[in-house]
Amino acid sequence: MKILLCPLASHGFVYPLIGIAKTLQSRGHEAAFVTGPAFAQSLEEAGLHRIPRGSKDGESFEVAHWGRPFPVAMQLKHIEYALCKFPADILVTTQLAMGALFVGELRKLPVAVLGLATYLWPSWPLNHKPESEQERRLEWRYGDMIGFYHECRAAFGLSPVDANHPQTPLRGDLLMVQSIPELHVTEFELPPRVHLIGSCGWEPETVDNDLLAWIETGIAAAEPIVYAQPGRSFGSFSFWRALCEALKDKRVRVVADIQKEDSEIGEIPKNFYVGPHVPQGKVLPYCSGVVTTGHTTSVLGALTHGLPSLLLPHGSASDDIAEHCERAGVAICFYNHKEGVTVDFVEKAVNDLLVNRDLKERAKEMRAAFARAGGINRAADLIEQLAGEKNGLRFGAPLSPTIEAINDPVVRAAVNDEFDDGSKLRVDTTVVQTNIRPPDVGEFEMSPS
């Protein structure tokens, strides 16, 4: 079986699919990737091949404008080009990467989607009226995301589809949510073909001698270590400065991944180790707690290592993930997006992470439950099952439509999305090529990490 994996170009999306791809390879299947060029080396080092965007390579599957027609059209063109080189039997993608959904529909290829650490949309019957703040948030998010989907369909000249949430096309043929029943507790059952599979966390093997020495020094001094990942603030508050003020000069060590922190870093306390990308797997086995905005990668890291968390969510599904963790008794949460968090609150909450026995015990129980869920192996099982159901063990999908047939819709999408700033946009039969850069706009963005 040939599997084409199509993640958005971000560590939190690409790395889990690398783990799944390597497992499928070990079972005798072939796997290839389409994603941004920044991940070409990581994929090569993992023994996987990234197919370029076309005869002239370029950016693709960018996160920032995931729901706009022109970037989605670029995904579609990239996948179509890859399928000419690698005739896949199934597409595996990540949530928010809509290009694979359209290619799957047009080519009649099965599409498996790897989700976040929560189910993003309503699961209740159509006659149910949302009552709680969480239910209204799920309804709003679904309306927002299906609106992007419809906008893309119209731009590509595709006919409308039934998009009520029980039959939503956003799930593909299979949606794998990175959670477990013990954590994802809801009043309503999840829809068919939605599976809770546990964590698909994967990281490349790395060696950081400075980080290891810093950890060993902390262990020798009997100082607890806390892992922090601030994440993007999306125009809201950032807890970073409050964390620095709360824990500087305390008998605790903080190792922080600030790759996505978009506020001013400022002066770094002496008891902090800060890096643009700190591999969780190298740090979390030595930690006593986690402080994060509550996005998928960092929360799953804490849960799979049996660590309690301080979660300070601000949108992009982090609120939903935090609520699940709080109900499960594995996290302390702060939800006041507008006012921001105080130094006193952070200091007290981190102290609770270090001494609260109930939090620690529930976190250990959750670690055991995640270990039973299967994670990457469960994902591989479901992908194999889906491919067998849809293809009937048939290998090699027919080419439909041709790449030429989608050129006009791609051009229309670019024009409608106002990407033409006076420069000439050229479209050939292999790839959209343009020197027009997407405008920097405050687009709704969702991150897994």
Q: DSSP per residue over 289-335, as a string? A: EEEE---HHHHHHHHHTT--EEE---STTHHHHHHHHHHTTSEEE--
**pLDDT in the model for residue 396:** 33
Domains of the chain plus CATH, in order, are 2-200+375-433 (3.40.50.2000), 209-372 (3.40.50.2000)
- CA 84/CA 309 separation, integer angstroms: 46
For 98, 113, 179, 289, 315, the CA distances from 351, given in Å and listed in that order, are: 42, 38, 27, 10, 25
Q: Tell me: the pLDDT tens digits for 413-429? A: 666 665 544 333 444 33
**pLDDT in the model for residue 439:** 37
**pLDDT in the model for residue 234:** 59
Query: Do 289 and 325 form a contact (C-beta atoms < 8 A)?
Result: no
Query: Do 449 and 12 form a contact (C-beta atoms < 8 A)?
Result: yes
Q: Tell me: the pLDDT tens digits for 179-189? A: 999 999 988 99
> How would you classify the pairing of strands 174-177 and 111-114?
parallel
**pLDDT in the model for residue 341:** 87
Residues of the chain falling short of pLDDT 50: 392-404, 420-445
Which one-letter amino acid corresponds to residue 169?
P
- Mean pLDDT over each residue of the chain, to the nearest integer: 87
**pLDDT in the model for residue 412:** 64
CA neighbor of 122 nearest in space, from 102, 139, 106:
139
**pLDDT in the model for residue 292:** 94
**pLDDT in the model for residue 391:** 57
Query: Do 266 and 244 form a contact (C-beta atoms < 8 A)?
Result: yes
Angle between the 376-391 and 11-26 helix axes, to the nearest 10 degrees?
70
Q: Which single residue is written with the structure tokens 């105080």? A: 342
* Alpha helix segments (H runs only) across 328-400: 343-355, 357-373, 376-391
CA neighbor of 172 nearest in space, from 90, 239, 238:
90
SS3 17: helix
**pLDDT in the model for residue 95:** 95
SS3 210: helix
> How would you classify the pairing of strands 289-292 and 309-311?
parallel
